[in-house]
Amino acid sequence: MGWLIALGVLVLLAILPLGASVRYDSEGVLVRLIAGPVKITLFPRPKKKKSSRKAGQEKEQKKEKKTPASAKPDSSARTEKPDGKAQQKQKSGGPWTDFLPLVKVGLDMLGAFRRKLRVNVLELKLILAGDDPCDLAVNYGKAWAALGNLLPRLERVFVIQKRDLEVECDFTANETLVIARLDLTITLGRLLSLGAVYGIRALKVLLKIKKKRKGGAVK
């Protein structure tokens, strides 16, 4: 019975969605970490209230007298210059031929994320400002054309579950406004599998580079 419970827990962890939610509106940018049903605000961080004890300590520090001049270090004293040997040597670049395989592994991993990432929510509301109906009509058409070109490109990379795209005109507004939201997630199981596959590939490349620099034969 215990192994069934453990298997159930592993299955639940494998399908646990992890990701981020980014929102932009009149209040600024809001970034949250998504871990299943839990959302943790990353930015802006909530301001912590100072405890009464800490506030009292700060108040006491302000009341303390300044250090007398005699206790201050002599500014006229010469400071010893560090020896040239102690200074750090300037770093030199590594071989380009060793760097290329790592780039290839990274690009392959990014390509594998295609269609693995899920856009749970995609919201974009563009409020065009202007008092000239002709200009607004032209900008309105351009905005929808841009969204029409952008959406197919996003759908080739992500699985979009819910979308809400709007373009409005406001003759009384002084500037064009944007309201946007993006909730992007990937299951923990997919993330671990991709990390394991491409982590092993990257480790093999690193071991080859290490062996090559030691003078060993590289297959």
Q: Which domain holds residue 21?
A: 17-41+97-213
Please tell me the predicted confidence (pLDDT) of residue 149: 92
**35: exposed, middle or buried (Cβ count in 10 Å: 0-12, 13-18, 19+):** middle
Question: 153 in a domain, yes or no?
Answer: yes
Task: Give SS3 for 23.
Answer: strand
Please tell me the predicted confidence (pLDDT) of residue 167: 93
Question: Is the pLDDT score of 207 beyond 60?
Answer: yes
The domain tally of the chain equals 1
154-188 tens-digit pLDDT: 888 888 999 999 999 998 888 999 999 999 999 98
Half-sphere exposure of 69 (CA within 13 A, CB side): 1
Query: What's the token pair of residue 82?
Result: 């560090």
Question: 4 in a domain, yes or no?
Answer: no
Question: 86 in a domain, yes or no?
Answer: no
What is the mean predicted confidence (pLDDT) over 40-65? Answer: 68
Backbone φ/ψ region at 13: left (φ over 0), alpha (ψ -120 to 50), beta: alpha
Q: Name the more confident of 93 and 73.
A: 93
Question: 111 in a domain, yes or no?
Answer: yes
Question: 55 in a domain, yes or no?
Answer: no
Contacts of 50 (CB under 8 A, 6+ apart): 58
The mean of the pLDDT values for the chain is 79
Please tell me the predicted confidence (pLDDT) of residue 86: 47
Question: 162 in a domain, yes or no?
Answer: yes
Torsion of CA 74, 78, 82, 84, to 10 degrees: 170
Question: 172 in a domain, yes or no?
Answer: yes
Contacts of 130 (CB under 8 A, 6+ apart): 136, 139, 169, 171, 173
Question: 54 in a domain, yes or no?
Answer: no
109-155 tens-digit pLDDT: 778 887 788 899 999 999 999 889 999 999 999 999 999 998 998 88
Q: Name the more confident of 143 and 64.
A: 143
